[in-house]
Amino acid sequence: MDLLEHRGKSLFAGAGLPVLPSRLACSPAEAQAAAVAIGLPVAVKAQVKTGGRGKAGGIRLCATADEVVAATADILAMNIRGHGVTCVLVEQAVAIARELYLAISCARTHRVPLLVFSAEGGVDIEEVARRKPGALVRTAVDPLLGLCDYQVRDVVAAAGLDGELAGPDGTPTKQALAGVVRALWRLYHESDATLCEINPLVVTAAGAVVCLDSKVTIDDNALFRHADLKAEAHAAKEDREARAHEAGLSFVALEGDIGVLGNGAGLVMSTIDQIAAAGGSAADFCDIGGGARADKVATALDVILSAGTARALLVSIFGGITRCDEVARGLVQVLGHRRVDVPVVVRLDGNAAAEGRTVLADAQILGLTVAAGATEAVRLAVAGAAAPAGAGALQAGPKTPRED
């Protein structure tokens, strides 16, 4: 489960990581009251589960209460890469001297937590690695030993901070940075996270170290150990239903691990039954109804993917008034721009099915398999959900005798 910035920051605060005073606001009036309570200037930040909010205009620095009201109204009206904004975080603004990058993530290929630090935040890490290798630290944390002191020292050395520098409370900046690295590891470990990222981690003009952003992902399999977070996952589920409803889609979240997208309630429900009969279970279903255009299909796919619970995706379309090529274009709209880690199986039959298959073939999407029919599609999706992550594209087998 991905956490919004404000939720990640409340975990940060609980773990002793330095964050600035902030308040959540869902209207311009609430934002104004928050700004008055915190003290101007403030940063008004869109709360959406996608990065690059700064570039999209979802983060505004405001010096007056009027600016806060205007910025909040603007941001609440925005749609950032398919995500509507329902709340903003109003946060005390700071004067930034330097932007750093710090993250701990689960490196699946190496099967270890990986700590990554860059003395240059906000820039492409690969570029820093090339241009200034000493400014980068990439180190595996032994899950049994935990973070070692030498690893913390490596980060502090790579930061290249002036040894004399100290924060307003007299704490040496180097020492504050070391504290952040240790606290982030503790948080990662204790909250069963698969990602804890601070980008940027800043050194303020006054010499303090502050987490200006947060990106936290909690392992869904560990949610039972975190009752408070589990309740939020439930609320997030309701969010998705509301978003789908707004787009004219019928969406229902279920308990399994195969995301299902289809046209028509009957087709979708029989698909879910077929999945169960084949030994799988549906994570949710999204019915795009009749005659859906590409945009609607893209939203449906995005709603399914946003939960992050699906281990495979099954798109089953029997085109009547719905054109299969239109559906294919909607799929390409999303899958052509976004890496999806799970296998996607598509069955297209009926109206414009051949054209739809051509659209998918031309797009050459990695991990996407076009099945010969509904039964084969179900079989491939169930096998895909059961396969280890990253197993690659599925092999379409010979047609079974009863295949349609």
Which residues form the interface with ligand GDP (CB under 6 A)?
Answer: 43, 45, 51-54, 59, 61, 93-94, 96, 99, 122, 199-200, 212-213
Helix axes 227-246, 294-306, angle to 10 degrees: 170
Beta bridge partners of 203: 98, 209
Q: Determine whether 197 is an active site residue.
A: yes
| 184 burial level (CB within 10 Å; 0-12, 13-18, 19+) | buried
CB nearer to Mn ion: pick between 215 and 240: 215
State the residue number with the nearest CB to Mn ion: 213
**Which of ligand GDP, Mn ion, none binds 83 (CB below 5-8 Å, type-dependent)?**
none
| 114 burial level (CB within 10 Å; 0-12, 13-18, 19+) | middle
Tell me whether the omega of the peptide bond preceding residue 41 falls within 30 degrees of 0, making it cis: yes
Interface with Mn ion includes 287 (CB under 5 A)? no
Per annotation, catalytic residue among 67, 91, 99, 101: 101
CB nearer to ligand GDP: pick between 202 and 377: 202
Q: Determine whether 150 is an active site residue.
A: no
Element (H, E) at 294: helix 294-306
Tokens of 240: 């998705």
- Number of CB atoms found within 10 A of residue 199's CB: 20
- Dihedral sign from CA coordinates of 387, 390, 393, 395: negative
Q: Quote the least distance from Cβ 136 to Mn ion, whole Å.
A: 18
CB nearer to ligand GDP: pick between 52 and 397: 52
Chain centroid, CA 33 distance in Å = 30
Q: Quote the least distance from Cβ 66 to ligand GDP, whole Å.
A: 19
Q: Quote the least distance from Cβ 71 to Mn ion, whole Å.
A: 18
Q: Answer whether 59's CB lies under 8 Å from 45's CB.
A: yes
Contact positions with Mn ion (CB under 5 A) in 301-330:
none
Tokens of 399: 């047609």
Q: Quote the least distance from Cβ 58 to ligand GDP, whole Å.
A: 7
Alpha-carbon distance values, 193 to 118, 204, 216, 226, 244 (Å): 21, 28, 7, 11, 28
CB nearer to ligand GDP: pick between 29 and 61: 61
Q: Quick one: which of 173, 194, 199, 271 contacts Mn ion (CB under 5 A)? A: 199
**Which of Mn ion, ligand GDP, none binds 52 (CB below 5-8 Å, type-dependent)?**
ligand GDP
Alpha helices in 207-279 (DSSP H): 227-246, 265-277
Q: Quote the least distance from Cβ 113 to Mn ion, whole Å.
A: 20
| 11 burial level (CB within 10 Å; 0-12, 13-18, 19+) | buried
User: What type of residue sits at position 84?
Assistant: G
Q: Quote the least distance from Cβ 301 to ligand GDP, whole Å.
A: 23
SS3 content of the chain, % helix, strand, coil (to 5): 40, 25, 35
CB nearer to ligand GDP: pick between 59 and 236: 59
Q: Which stretch binds Mn ion (CB under 5 A): 58-66, 95-103, 191-199, 342-350?
A: 191-199
**Which of ligand GDP, Mn ion, none binds 257 (CB below 5-8 Å, type-dependent)?**
none
Interface with Mn ion includes 213 (CB under 5 A)? yes
CB nearer to ligand GDP: pick between 72 and 271: 72
Per annotation, catalytic residue among 5, 91, 197, 326: 197
Positions marked catalytic: 101, 197
Residues that bind Mn ion (CB under 5 A): 199, 213
